Structure 1
Amino acid sequence: MTHTLGAVATVAAVAAALLAPVQVNAAAIARPAVVTTDNETPVLYDDRAGGNASGDDPAIWVHPADSRKSVVIVTAKEGGLRVYDVGSRQVQSLPATEAPRGDAVAGRYNNVDIAYGLRLAGRRVDVAVVSDRYNDQLRFFVIDPAGASARTPLTEVTAADQTFLFNPDRQAVEQEQTAYGLAVWQPRPGETYGVVTQEGTTTIATVRIVDIDGKLGYTDIRHLAMPSHFRLPDGTTWVPCEEPGVLPQLEGVAVDQASGVLYAAQEDVGLWRLHLPLGPRSRPTLIDRVTDFGIHDVYDTETEECEPVDPNAKGYGGNLLTADAEGVDIYYGRGSTGYVLVSSQGDDTFAVYQRHGTNRAVGSFRVAGVGGVDDINGSDGLAVTNRPVGTYRQGLLVTHDEPDTGPDVDRQRDATNFSYISFGDIARTMKLTVDTRPGNDPRLR
């Protein structure tokens, strides 16, 4: 069953939110802090020789008893999925196979998140949930309880002939405005939802994940249209510049499992907060804006770039996010404390906001590589956990890196990979609070 909801925020309502100043402390406008990493996954190449593998988004599965057996699961688009251990060694590679449907084509896996404790065929399982752009649906992979020590850590359990998430038929799917960003929401035991964004539009969908004859599928699709144009304090209306026929899309999404708050990064706009479930009360609040928010651009069809109408315009942007705003995830502290992390792709940094209250900006950092590992460039997806993972005793951040520029990388090929960063190092550098208690993360209780 599908329910479609209209836009929940009018232009006037959004304008009112934009007039309110972003909550920032002094550290947030200082130069980004610098942390280091010496741990990265093997390089992926987006060409025929490399299996058209382009890294995009990671998820961290934490083993309940032995954190050394935890795994990092990443999407590689047409290259499928990769599974790495806590030392960034690859333990499994899964191709982007055809979805189990009558009109299927080979998949393109874009984003991934973890659902803990789903009931499937009479047993409790943890599942990697994946958005498949070429089939406009979700795919599901059971995680072996042995984790990194398992022969095959992931096994697909997607039910047959799942409904397209955003399109009426295969012909529409082929236009590729399909399933894009993804987060899992588990509001209470026995209830699991996927939150999915649509490529090239402002639409967000939620679906309920269910057992269908011993496989996993979904039902109850709900749509919500986020804002695409904004009334500015100077009286003009700003529309983010995009290619013709494209709206300012969202990709990175994360759900606070304790409060039901969805954080969503609209790439050329900024970071939103809204409450789930989607409905008339899901009024979005713009937490922070990209630096060029409000600068009027025009699309040049020859260069295929957006150029400012007035090169000297200052706009109404924030200080921490340089478009594109991309990956989002949550570091859980005790109660409502902790942090929301967002990758600022345009300047190779990561913004940090408080999890509670009005999500006041804390500051930002960049990641420098050491010991033969390269710096993080153009990060897309990221994942963070407060739990000890292997040698990362104060939590772990995993982030996408594009392009990978390490000493052994073929610079003539499109190279990507993922880097592991100690959250303890981030916390010491930025004076953040570390709290590794398992009860902080509602998914791991």
Structure 2
Amino acid sequence: MVRLLKTETPEVRPVVRTMPLPDDADDPAIWTHPRDPRLSLILGTNKARAPRGAIGVFDLSGRMLQRIDGIDQPNNIDVAYGFALGRERVDIAVATERYASRLRIFRIDPARRRLVDITDPNGARVFAGESGERAMPMGLALYQAGRGEVQAIVSRKSGPKRGYLHQYRLVPTRGGRVGVQLVRAFGAFSGEGEIEAICVDSELGYVYYADEGVGIRKYYADPRHPEREIALFATEYEGDQEGIAIYAPPDGAGYLLCTEQIEGGSKLHIYPRFGVQRKPILTLRTGADETDGLDASAHNFGAPFEKGLVVAMNSEGRNFWLYRWADIERELERRVR
């Protein structure tokens, strides 16, 4: 459902709200089931110190199916498909674990709809040689580099003005575990705030990240490209630039979605996926409180998400809100007419 406020800024309302997490919901990710999209999952982090830090696994009705505790402050989480683990191709979820300075890597079991930890405890450490906040991973997005290869682009609590982000190749280790290998350090930072929200458009080969309080920066995701900033946009927000997501339908079009974090009612800014991102095509009020994390998918998940969905973190409720893409599309079409 979409309604207009007195300001004439449309507001989109969630159709599903997940069960709450115990402490501080932070970032969601959507995993699409390979055979029956109605059995797909929403993964979300509970940002807290161990033993309360956790990842919640929800179905599309918002019911929690699994909670993985004992993670030392997970921040962001993302999923990738067809990762080459030995002779198998598996779907994986990867989260940052801030106070352990490592990534947590999970195999997604489609039959049981559960996550199975396959982290190499020592081999998955990030920001080697750094200390304090410079060694604390926060933001993360997965780049599907092809041929079963997955790379993680990771930000941290604080860092230098050049090379704030590190990019790691996920590599199988002994016993079916997974570690990481550093590929490169890249990315400009203004020195203001921090960098948390990251999103990769693997199909087009771009990575977007939010330099909070300044704007969203765009780079090539493939490390074989020369390192250069392609664009800096979303510089006019009053709130922080936070969650970023790609809505990529099979027809090859789509949108880039960006969150403006606002207490009591964050905004969703919608940009074209192709070409230059200058000004948003449409801005929506979401009603979600101080949204950090965001994800989107164009898959047909069955009613009520036949055209896909958007998931946003809602701080006050410590949960995640699910929006129908059909409601957003209707407003996009109204603006075009």
Alpha-carbon distance between aligned partners in 1 of 2:238 and 2:231, rounded to the nearest angstrom: 15
* Correspondence 1:172-211 to 2 at 5 A: 172-173=131-132, 175=133, 177-201=135-159, 203-211=164-172
Relative to the length of structure 1, the TM-score reads 0.67
What does residue 226 of structure 1 align with?
Answer: 188
How big is each residue's C-alpha offset from its partner over 1:113-145, in whole Å with a ceiling of 9 and x where there is no partner?
A: 001011223211101011111111111111111
What does residue 119 of structure 1 align with?
Answer: 84
How far off its partner does 1:253 sit? 0.9
What does residue 33 of structure 1 align with?
Answer: 10
Name which of 339, 364, 381 aligns with 2:293: 381
Q: Is the 8 A contact 2:21 2:56 kept in 1?
A: no
Alpha-carbon distance between aligned partners in 1 of 2:56 and 2:207, rounded to the nearest angstrom: 27
Name which of 230, 249, 263 aligns with 2:208: 263
What does residue 316 of structure 2 align with?
Answer: 403
How big is each residue's C-alpha offset from its partner over 1:18-71, in whole Å with a ceiling of 9 and x where there is no partner?
A: xxxxxxxxxxxx84321112310112342xxxxxxx110000000121111100
Alpha-carbon distance between aligned partners in 2 of 1:334 and 1:145, rounded to the nearest angstrom: 23
Instruction: Work out whether 1:277 is the aligned partner of 2:247.
Output: no
Instruction: Work out whether 1:92 is the aligned partner of 2:92.
Output: no
Change (3 A) 1:349 1:154: same
Which SS does the other structure have where 2:330 is aligned? Answer: helix
Q: Is the 8 A contact 2:123 2:178 kept in 1?
A: no
Instruction: Work out whether 1:133 is the aligned partner of 2:91.
Output: no
Instruction: Work out whether 1:72 is the aligned partner of 2:42.
Output: yes
Alpha-carbon distance between aligned partners in 1 of 2:121 and 2:97, rounded to the nearest angstrom: 14
Amino acid at match of 1:386: A
Amino acid at match of 2:29: A
The structure 1 segments of at least 4 consecutive aligned residues displaced by more than 3 Å after TM superposition are 333-336
How big is each residue's C-alpha offset from its partner over 1:138-172, in whole Å with a ceiling of 9 and x where there is no partner?
A: 111111112xxx2x601100013126322426xx2
What does residue 353 of structure 1 align with?
Answer: 271
Amino acid at match of 1:44: L
Q: Is the 8 A contact 1:82 1:94 kept in 2?
A: yes
Name which of 225, 241, 254 aligns with 1:325: 241
How big is each residue's C-alpha offset from its partner over 1:212-249, in whole Å with a ceiling of 9 and x where there is no partner?
A: 122111113421241326xxxxxxxxxx4xxxxxxx32
Q: Is the 8 A contact 1:133 1:176 kept in 2?
A: no
Change (3 A) 1:366 1:215: same
Alpha-carbon distance between aligned partners in 1 of 2:32 and 2:88, rounded to the nearest angstrom: 19
Name which of 177, 187, 193 aligns with 1:215: 177
What does residue 365 of structure 1 align with?
Answer: 284
How big is each residue's C-alpha offset from its partner over 1:279-336, in whole Å with a ceiling of 9 and x where there is no partner?
A: 772211344243xxxxxxxxxxxxxxxxxxxxxxxxxxx2xx3331001110013565
Q: Is the 8 A contact 1:276 1:282 kept in 2?
A: no
Q: Is the 8 A contact 2:125 2:180 kept in 1?
A: no
Which SS does the other structure have where 1:37 is aligned? Answer: coil
Instruction: Work out whether 1:427 is the aligned partner of 2:329.
Output: yes
Alpha-carbon distance between aligned partners in 1 of 2:334 and 2:30, rounded to the nearest angstrom: 21
What does residue 4 of structure 2 align with?
Answer: none
Alpha-carbon distance between aligned partners in 1 of 2:334 and 2:241, rounded to the nearest angstrom: 22
Alpha-carbon distance between aligned partners in 2 of 1:220 and 1:384, rounded to the nearest angstrom: 28
Please tell me the root mean square deviation across aligned C-alpha atoms, in Å: 2.1
Q: Is the 8 A contact 1:270 1:286 kept in 2?
A: no
What does residue 103 of structure 1 align with?
Answer: none
Relative to the length of structure 2, the TM-score reads 0.88
Which SS does the other structure have where 1:158 is aligned? Answer: coil
> Greater relative contact order (Cα 8 A, min sep 6): structure 1 or 2?
1
What does residue 393 of structure 1 align with?
Answer: 306
Alpha-carbon distance between aligned partners in 1 of 2:319 and 2:291, rounded to the nearest angstrom: 10
What does residue 4 of structure 1 align with?
Answer: none
Percent identity, aligned pairs only, is: 30
What does residue 197 of structure 2 align with?
Answer: 252
Alpha-carbon distance between aligned partners in 2 of 1:163 and 1:358, rounded to the nearest angstrom: 36
Q: Is the 8 A contact 2:233 2:277 kept in 1?
A: no
Name which of 157, 162, 176 aligns with 2:118: 157
Q: Structure 1 unaligned runs (5+)?
A: 1-29, 47-53, 98-106, 230-239, 241-247, 291-317, 368-374, 405-415, 434-445
How far off its partner does 1:187 sit? 2.4
Say how many residue pairs are matched: 317
Q: Structure 2 unaligned runs (5+)?
A: 1-6
Which SS does the other structure have where 1:57 is aligned? Answer: strand
Which SS does the other structure have where 2:327 is aligned? Answer: helix
